[in-house]
Amino acid sequence: MFVTTFRGLVVAACLFSLTQFSPQLAAQPMPVLPQDNTARQQEMSQNSGQQKRTFAGRIVKSGDKLVLYDKSKETSYQLNDQQLARLFQGQEVKVTGSLDSKSNTIAIFSVAVPKENRSS
């Protein structure tokens, strides 16, 4: 199963590249990178009393937003991280997160492309 947190990887890759080309940066300690939405997502989950769940469906465009469409339940869920969702647009995925039932929004913890849906 392919699970990702792209923002952290991209930032780490950029910092690694900078240290390769700048000896001054290589000598300095690497900063601790914040986990973008993790603290906010955990707080949202704790405040709403929601547990992490897994949702399956296809990430599709609905108006100007990307949503997770669950064909079996014939329902769509809003996604709190549109940048991450954009990376998986049009793909069948499994999203782990907590659902805010008031806004029908999933606070994303991870996105996975099931092995059978990956292109070779």
The residue with greater pLDDT, 71 or 21, is: 71
Answer whether 97's CB lies under 8 Å from 107's CB.
Answer: yes
pLDDT at 19: 47
The chain-wide mean pLDDT, for the chain, equals: 76
Which one-letter DSSP state was computed for residue 52?
P
Tokens (6 digits) for 108: 């994303």
- Where do the structural domains in the chain lie, given as residue ranges? 2-114
- Answer whether residue 81 shows pLDDT above 60: yes
State pTM to two decimals.
0.59
Whether residue 64 is predicted with pLDDT greater than 90 in this model: the reply is yes
**How far is residue 116's CA from residue 82's CA, in Å, rounded to a whole number?**
24
Backbone angles phi, psi at 33, to 5 degrees: -90, 135
Q: 2-114 is classed in which CATH architecture?
A: Beta Barrel (2.40)
**Per-residue pLDDT at 115:** 84
Contact between 59 and 3 under an 8 Å Cβ cutoff? The reply is no
Residues 6-52: pLDDT tens digits? 555 544 445 455 445 445 544 445 444 444 555 555 555 455 556 89
